[in-house]
Structure 1
Amino acid sequence: MKTMTMTRRALTGVLATFAVLGSLGLSATQASAVTPHAAQTAALPVVDMEAVVKAAQIDPRRADNTLTPGAKDSVLAVEQALQARNLLDARWVDGYFGTTTITAYAAFQRSLGYTGLAANGLPGATSLTALGQGRFTVTRVIGPGAKLQRDGYTINTRTQAMLTETERLLGFKLVLSQGSYNPGGDPTSAGTHDGGGVVDINIDGMSATTRTAVAKALRQVGFAAWVRNPTQGDWPWHIHAAAISDTDLSTQAQNQTGDYYLGFNGLANHGADDGPRIPIQTWEEYQRTH
């Protein structure tokens, strides 16, 4: 009975495909030539990259196995593909992108020849597409873009676009006191600036009200941002901002963004978030609503 049901579904799908192709003016012969490929593509699950990357930041930081909303089906497809490559045990194929799945994904990245930050378990567009070959297609693809210089520091184009929009909201320019891709450059940063998406903002001359306004605007466009002061660590006053879902984030920065979603301050003490609380969204989510 199950086989018959599957056959009927397949036949329905093929007939529907022919109808669509016919409406485009293709003859039956032309339709026959492209239908197998179209039907095969339509049959593949779709993985939402935005959802997967978000889960890969949040899930490893959770104290329980709560799933990231909207990510389960996409994460399951990724985990099933990792299992098929003998990189993930079946018991971990559960829609939860925890530390075990991070480790498995990092192993897959290494199998592609990636090293360092490119093999830290956070899915990138190229590796995710490679993993999905024949198994799933990828939608809502995100990436950091090319590197560029700002205020004498290296950042990427996604971060630059986010900072530009923050400045538009505030009505004034921001100046960086530290950039991205700076491995070991500042030991007090604990590796958060080793990859992309993370910057420090110079707040010299800003009032407390202005500092809070800057942190809020950074959060609005998709940064996990906090006002840092000398009582918290060996650093001067500044605003620390990590671009959520930047696929070049270092592991430490990924941990910070995950903690931000869970209401923490992004510091080693795992304290409560001391910044302005607003609805959390990524840069891509912000763009879709503005």
Structure 2
Amino acid sequence: MLTRRNLLLTAAAATASVAVAGPTAQAALPQVNMEALIKAAQIDPRRADTAITTGSRDSVLQVERALQARGLLAATYVDGHFGTSTISAYAAYQRSLGYSGLDATGLPGLTSLRLLGDQRYMVTLPLSPGSTVAYRGVTVNTRTRAMLLEAERLLGRQLTLTQGSYTSGNSSSAGTHDGGGALDISVTDLSTTYRTTVVGRLRRVGFAAWLRTPSQGDWPYHIHAIALADTDQSAAAQHQAGDYYLGLNGLANRAADDGPVVTPKLTWEEYQRTS
């Protein structure tokens, strides 16, 4: 005979069964690691070959298959390499959602990535640039601000910002500051040695950073930094991030990196997990 206690136990068991079934069903879908995917989307278009970024193959394949299913990517490019064809296909998908400008560069954002994967895959290790804020006279997003503050904590001093993110019209910047994750830092009060130290600390927390000199372009001495894996990056900033991973200087001449060696090259999220 079912007593009140037995009824309660039966109901509890049923509830637990439903609770387990939900995540189990969700886990049955393939996973797309967004951190690995974005890293590949920055690096692979800058490669001279079709090599696959370590740890990204399965995630890239899931996205490429979803793009192919929508008729946006030819089967020959469904190969785990997030190259220029995949970038173009993803940008076309973003435009099909009504996105434009920074939201349709081909670099996946969390919303579009989840929509593309509906019933196909689940997104793990999601990335977000956060909200846009005014900070020390420039505009940045909250992720970039947090990265800067951590670099300053490591340095034990505050840096002077001369240019932020989400700005346009500066011809000398070649579009790198049009989107998120970009900073220029004054070095006028820093010694030559300390300038290198600052670049090193910025790199340590997840920036692609370089000391820029007047001999390289139409600009004064300054430090230029791009936050790796910032999904609001302009196309130009994406290229600089990819070049940094590949050991290049982030300039049009694509010469060897002239900054301090920091290994491994971590994103902000990776830094937070390991520090």
Describe the superposition over 1:137-193 as per-residue Cα deviations: whole angstroms up to 9, x where unpaired: 001001110111122110000000000000000000011011100022x10010000
Superposition deviation, residue 42 in structure 1: 2.2
1:65-84 equivalences in 2 (<5 Å): 65-84=50-69
Identical amino acids, percent of aligned pairs: 61
Per the normalisation by structure 2, the TM-score is 0.93
- 1:215 correspondence with 2:188: no
CA distance in 1, matches of 2:195, 2:27: 50
1:49-198 equivalences in 2 (<5 Å): 49-184=34-169, 186-198=170-182
Describe the superposition over 1:27-47 as per-residue Cα deviations: whole angstroms up to 9, x where unpaired: 665566567654431210011
Superposition deviation, residue 61 in structure 1: 0.2
- 1:273 correspondence with 2:273: no
Partner secondary structure for residue 191 of structure 1: coil
More displaced stretch, 187-196 vs 24-33:
24-33
CA distance in 1, matches of 2:196, 2:110: 34
1:8 is matched with none
2:272 is matched with 287
Partner secondary structure for residue 177 of structure 1: strand
CA RMSD of aligned residues (A): 1.6
Letter in 1 for 2:98: G
Letter in 2 for 1:138: V
Q: Which runs of 4+ in 1 moved over 2 A?
A: 24-40
Describe the superposition over 1:264-284 as per-residue Cα deviations: whole angstroms up to 9, x where unpaired: 000011111000011111000
Change (3 A) 1:271 1:25: farther
Residue in structure 2 matching 1:201, options 185, 194, 197: 185
Unaligned runs of 5+ in 2: 1-8
1:6 is matched with none
Partner secondary structure for residue 89 of structure 2: helix
- 1:253 correspondence with 2:240: no
Superposition deviation, residue 79 in structure 1: 0.6
CA distance in 2, matches of 1:33, 1:161: 39
Query: Number of aligned pairs?
Result: 266
Superposition deviation, residue 111 in structure 1: 1.0
Describe the superposition over 1:180-213 as per-residue Cα deviations: whole angstroms up to 9, x where unpaired: 00022x1001000000000000111211111000
Change (3 A) 1:238 1:80: same
Change (3 A) 1:166 1:29: closer
Per the normalisation by structure 1, the TM-score is 0.88
Unaligned runs of 5+ in 1: 1-23
Change (3 A) 1:34 1:158: closer
1:11 is matched with none
